[in-house]
Structure 1
Amino acid sequence: MAETAEHAAYHTPVSVLDLAPVLKGGSVAETLHNSLDLARHAESWGYKRYWLAEHHNMAGVASSATSLVIGYIAAGTTSIRVGSGGIMLPNHAPLLIAEQFGTLESLYPGRIDLGLGRAPGTDQPASRAIRRGLASSGQDFPALLEELRSYFEGTSVGVQAVPGKGLRVPIWLLGSSGFSAELAGRLGLPFAFASHFAPDYLLPALDLYRLSFTPSEVLEKPHAMVAINVFAADTDEEADRLSTSQQIQFLRLIRGGGGPLEPPVNSMDELWPGERERAVVESQQRYSVIGNKETVRRRLRYIQELTGADEWIASGQIYDHQARLRSYELLSQVVQEGY
């Protein structure tokens, strides 16, 4: 795409959000090996960050011990930033997170990101099991965040995070509603919005973040990352087919289920009997980017102009590992060429 004064190409940085999908017929070990392989490719293709998310009690997700997986990925790469997208802070004592990420930053200096969320990242039974003795519901997230930051800043009283104290681990707030958007703005922190599963609140949350933003030692102006689903392939038809694995996953969630990531299908028509479920799934995917390189280019430009994103972070729940690699390769080419 040629750049002109009227139509300059965007080159917004792009990162990877790896939801560590366990495949139907596969294993957790295979998933983690595939994650490292993808991270190494992403590094060579110029991706900025490689983030993993904390989920629990989900048969289709292998990244529950998020800090450990971050260490595994960081050890197997050399330059790409590695971090959490995110750690669900109310599940943990802030001191332990400071120590864990202080350890990671000490081992891989200048490469670790700490993205924080306030949801449990699981269902109620698992949430009770995780939070036993913590007495946290997520409403005290601002206080937990303040405590966590005090360990890194060395301003905590009586207790020090070793390692952790004095280390500049970048903290991001993650959200799917306005709560973390407003808090990130007030504190002058970078903000990432989870539009890959909560598209309804994307634009209102970005507006709230920017309107509430106060410059800080961390940022002089707002910095928003937008999470999107990307399914890129050599043809539009193949990209559509690859995306059905995620559609099946969304459909299971609607019906109250879960499980490993299913192979793609040629048509979803037999899997949803009525229009209601189809409409819900398609609404969930309305900011998804699905297609060949040129389709991806046009779609990215549309969402860029809609959101003004400072960074993208792309999730791709693709069953076949080689197809998943190809999707991220094509996306990197679009970003480098401009869109």
Structure 2
Amino acid sequence: MTDKHTTSPKKVQDIKVSILDLAPIIVGGTAADSFRNSLDLAQHAEQWGYHRYWLAEHHNMPGIASSATSVVIGYIAAGTHTIRVGSGGIMLPNHAPLMIAEQFGTLESLYPGRIDLGLGRAPGSDQPAMRALRRGLSSDGSDFPELLSELRGYLSGASEARPVGVRAVPGEGLTIPIWLLGSSGFSAQLAGHLGLPFAFASHFAPDYLLPALDLYRRNFQPSEALDEPYAMIGLNVIVADTDEEALKLSTSQQQQFLNLIRGRTGPLNPPVESMDALWNAQEEAHIRKQLSYTVTGSKETVLKKLQYFLDETGADELIVTAQVYDHEARLRSYQYLAEVVKDGASN
């Protein structure tokens, strides 16, 4: 970690906090329900002072509704006024860069100054979905730098970075902040070299977080986008009136991860009193490690845990997700978190 972050610790109340909405489809619910709930959450998040609201590209997952990510971004942006809306992220190797430039150029034209383009290089899907997306199974994301260069060429209009005679309309000449997302050192190093903001997926892949942040900061080169590194980390955060209630709410997410490691996916399940009857000791250890960047509890508990992760990482921004089955409980969790960030745990 750099001297900047060890000598100038930040307080939770001093940084921006944003939302990553995985647009959960719950047991007994539909994608239409999920979209209505997402818009409702975004509208509340705007009132509560959250900085940005991102949606993620996932395919072939019955529990996540945001597969057509740019379409959902447009829906959320149309129903809000000031909050930034974007992708966390678009999996660029799934797409032709020209199409992403045009889609986000359209979004930026419709909602100027509010659109973020977060980019990842993973498929966001399983192997059958990769084939259906016409993405070769041999694709390992190694062509991501070239795809990124082409995309940036369409947006900037730089002729050397795009095919001759091809322009993104709309898109060319628009200022759309590009973020690189990752869970390893690849995107961290690339983001540093290019002088772009970087977001790490520590909410589900925490193991390489600290080395990746160090790699990003050590390799950072100032650019037109940034004068100095800007790193955002993902956290699972669930806040309730008591620690016990928050822990119970979190069992919906634990069930989701349990199904994933067992090779099956489905809608988000309601919470249970205990996971003991659902997982074995090995599965529990694996999931707890995978979800180690998770903060659950009352406002007092959450404030302490957030400050711990902030001290550990020196993050410039937090982006939080809450896979909560009941929509009202999810709203309450984000409201409580906003109060923690604004005023500490005293509210």
The TM tier, using the shorter chain, reads over 0.9
- Whole-angstrom CA distance in 2 between matches of 1:59 and 1:263: 15
Query: 2:245 corresponds to which residue?
Result: 238
CA 1:155–1:14 in 2, change beyond 3 Å: closer, same or farther?
A: same
SS in 2 for 1:185: helix
- Whole-angstrom CA distance in 2 between matches of 1:154 and 1:81: 24
User: What's the CA shift for 1:128?
Assistant: 1.3
SS in 2 for 1:300: helix
Aligned residues of 2:87 and 2:117 also touching (Cα < 8 A): yes
Query: 2:150 corresponds to which residue?
Result: 147
Aligned residues of 2:324 and 2:330 also touching (Cα < 8 A): yes
User: What's the CA shift for 1:173?
Assistant: 0.1
Aligned residues of 1:91 and 1:136 also touching (Cα < 8 A): no
Following superposition of structure 1 onto structure 2, how do residues 31-110 of structure 1 map, counting pairs within 5 Å? 31-110=34-113
* Residue 293 (structure 2) pairs with residue 290 (structure 1): no
CA RMSD of aligned residues (A): 1.7
User: What's the CA shift for 1:132?
Assistant: 5.2
Seq. identity, %:
70
Query: 1:23 corresponds to which residue?
Result: 26
SS in 2 for 1:299: helix
- Whole-angstrom CA distance in 2 between matches of 1:224 and 1:233: 28
* Residue 133 (structure 2) pairs with residue 138 (structure 1): no
SS in 2 for 1:199: coil
Query: 1:173 corresponds to which residue?
Result: 180
CA 1:53–1:9 in 2, change beyond 3 Å: closer, same or farther?
A: closer
- Whole-angstrom CA distance in 1 between matches of 2:9 and 2:126: 49
Query: 2:5 corresponds to which residue?
Result: none
Q: How many residue pairs end up in the alignment?
A: 334
User: What's the CA shift for 1:254?
Assistant: 1.1
Q: Which of 211, 214, 218 is 1:207 aligned to?
A: 214
* Residue 231 (structure 2) pairs with residue 228 (structure 1): no
SS in 2 for 1:86: strand
* Residue 334 (structure 2) pairs with residue 328 (structure 1): yes
SS in 1 for 2:208: helix
Query: 1:128 corresponds to which residue?
Result: 131
* Residue 343 (structure 2) pairs with residue 337 (structure 1): yes
CA 1:7–1:64 in 2, change beyond 3 Å: closer, same or farther?
A: closer
Query: 2:4 corresponds to which residue?
Result: none
User: What's the CA shift for 1:131?
Assistant: 2.5
Aligned residues of 2:51 and 2:84 also touching (Cα < 8 A): yes
Aligned residues of 2:11 and 2:307 also touching (Cα < 8 A): no
User: What's the CA shift for 1:158?
Assistant: 1.1
- Whole-angstrom CA distance in 2 between matches of 1:243 and 1:294: 17
- Whole-angstrom CA distance in 1 between matches of 2:290 and 2:256: 11
CA 1:13–1:338 in 2, change beyond 3 Å: closer, same or farther?
A: farther
1:253-292 CA distance string (max 9 Å, x none): 11111100000001111001x3111101111121101000
Amino acid at match of 2:150: E
SS in 2 for 1:33: helix
Aligned residues of 2:182 and 2:201 also touching (Cα < 8 A): yes
Query: 2:198 corresponds to which residue?
Result: 191
Query: 1:161 corresponds to which residue?
Result: 168
CA 1:252–1:134 in 2, change beyond 3 Å: closer, same or farther?
A: closer
User: What's the CA shift for 1:135?
Assistant: 8.6
- Whole-angstrom CA distance in 1 between matches of 2:187 and 2:309: 22
Amino acid at match of 1:188: G
- Whole-angstrom CA distance in 2 between matches of 1:324 and 1:10: 21
Following superposition of structure 1 onto structure 2, how do residues 237-276 of structure 1 map, counting pairs within 5 Å? 237-272=244-279, 274-276=280-282
1:8-30 CA distance string (max 9 Å, x none): 66421100000011000100000
Q: Which of 14, 18, 36 is 2:17 aligned to?
A: 14
* Residue 119 (structure 2) pairs with residue 119 (structure 1): no
Aligned residues of 1:11 and 1:337 also touching (Cα < 8 A): no
Aligned residues of 1:297 and 1:334 also touching (Cα < 8 A): yes
Amino acid at match of 1:236: D
Aligned residues of 1:93 and 1:134 also touching (Cα < 8 A): no
Question: Unpaired segments of 5 or more residues in structure 2?
Answer: 1-7
Aligned residues of 2:12 and 2:341 also touching (Cα < 8 A): no
Q: TM-score, normalised by structure 1?
A: 0.96
Q: TM-score, normalised by structure 2?
A: 0.94
Aligned residues of 1:10 and 1:301 also touching (Cα < 8 A): no
1:155-182 CA distance string (max 9 Å, x none): 1331110000000000000001110000
- Whole-angstrom CA distance in 2 between matches of 1:61 and 1:9: 29
- Whole-angstrom CA distance in 1 between matches of 2:177 and 2:136: 28
SS in 1 for 2:223: coil
- Whole-angstrom CA distance in 1 between matches of 2:142 and 2:132: 18
